[in-house]
Amino acid sequence: MEAEAVEVAELPNILIIGLFLMFGGRAYAIARYLRLPRVTLLVISGILIGPSGFNLVPDEIVGLFPIMSYIALSMIAFRLGETFIKFDLLKTGPTIFAISLGKTIVAATLVFTVAYFIQDDIVLALLLAGLAPASAPAATLDVISETNSKGPLTDTIIRVLAVDNVLGITLLSILFVVAEVITGAGNPTEEVISGVWEIGGAFVLGLGIGWPMSRLAGQLKKGKPSLLEITGFVLLCTGLAYQLQISYLLACIVLGATVAKNRAQPKKNIFGTIEEVSEPFLVIFFLLAGCELDLSALASLGVIGVLYVIARCLGFVIGGGIASRLVNAEPVVQQNIGWSLFPQAGVALGLAVLTLQHFPGLGQFLVSIVVSTTVVFELFGPTVTQWRLFKAKEAAEATETSSSDDLPFVQQSK
């Protein structure tokens, strides 16, 4: 009887999850009416019903955010691998890498300069510069999916997001070593080994699971991989990455890319299935992300927080623009790529938390800056991305020639 009473007590939480999913199903229509990206509407709704608003969501539900982050972001990372189906590494790879590197270096440099000028602390400036390049793939790709965007800008955004994860982790690992040399804390050699393991191990794990996945998925029903098979492989990769202390995002990107480049399976079946599976997790993830955001953090944003937002955005626009011109990218990419990558959320916060282990005092300050600026980036970032996609005439409503049959990240059921 006692166990039954506990189960009954938890039923209201199930009700809330159901309401989340029902609201998510109508969010596209509501967002379109309000001329907002769906992700922005979901985040705002989460703020309103969360602790910063009317506090309508039980703590038990809000506490699901970490696990929902892992599940949703791992599926998003796997879906990024879909872009490698028609990706020529030798022909297109240098262009994508150059654009990602350009916006990463310029953004990190500007943030470092501003932070050092304001705080006069070289270690703080280095670490903040290492966090600046991180983007939010979930929010950006949700905007692309919602607008059924297609074209050179859209393709570049998706591929740059995939490369950004590698560069972001690499840059922060390097700056960790530099900061520890300056402060004399920790062991730089151990940090180098840890960084190599985090990146190299992710590649090995993604390849190691991707090869059997591309061959085993779909064996039960020839050419029709099941939802359980695909979801199982993705979550297996994420779980092992967590246990092995390597980048689960990078591992899942490599997993998706391995499947995309393998000829053993019809790729659309695999990526189409994970796209459908990820939808409810993404809705819950964005709503809980809003619940997690603390609007009071905006009050503590301060001068350094405001300048961090400005420097990061300028770095993306200037760095992405210059790099795309140097590699002769299409004009629509040159004009819009930096503007389209402003969203910053879970990945940056995850990296910021890592600084707590190495620099407890500075780490707490860095986390507070990232948390407060995340509110800003999550609210206006997706809107700017949507604006640039429409400006580039790649969003479905902006062109009548777009077909959703072969678009990446398009919810075909909508």
Report if residue 408 sits inside a domain. Answer: no
What is the model's pTM? 0.79
pLDDT per residue rounded down to tens, the chain (414 residues): 444 444 545 557 888 889 999 998 888 788 888 878 888 888 889 888 988 888 988 888 888 888 888 898 899 889 888 777 766 666 777 888 899 999 999 999 999 999 999 888 898 899 889 888 888 788 888 899 888 899 999 999 988 988 887 787 788 778 877 887 887 766 777 777 877 888 899 999 999 999 888 877 766 566 566 788 889 999 999 999 999 988 888 899 899 988 888 765 555 678 888 888 888 998 998 888 888 777 776 666 778 888 999 999 999 999 999 999 999 999 999 999 999 999 886 667 667 766 766 777 777 777 778 777 877 888 889 999 999 999 999 987 544 444 434 434 433 433
Tokens 């480049």 belong to: 261
Residue 145: predicted pLDDT: 87
Report if residue 180 sits inside a domain. Answer: yes
Q: How far apart are the first and last CA of the chain?
A: 44
Residue 300: predicted pLDDT: 63
Count of domains in the chain?
A: 1
Report if residue 302 sits inside a domain. Answer: yes
Round to whole Å and give the CA distance between 137 and 157. 10
Residue 93: predicted pLDDT: 79
CATH number for 157: 1.20.1530.20
Report if residue 71 sits inside a domain. Answer: yes
Report if residue 404 sits inside a domain. Answer: no
Tokens coding 32: 């379109």
Residues of the domain holding 336: 2-398
Rg (CA), the chain: 21
Report if residue 405 sits inside a domain. Answer: no
Report if residue 414 sits inside a domain. Answer: no
Report if residue 403 sits inside a domain. Answer: no
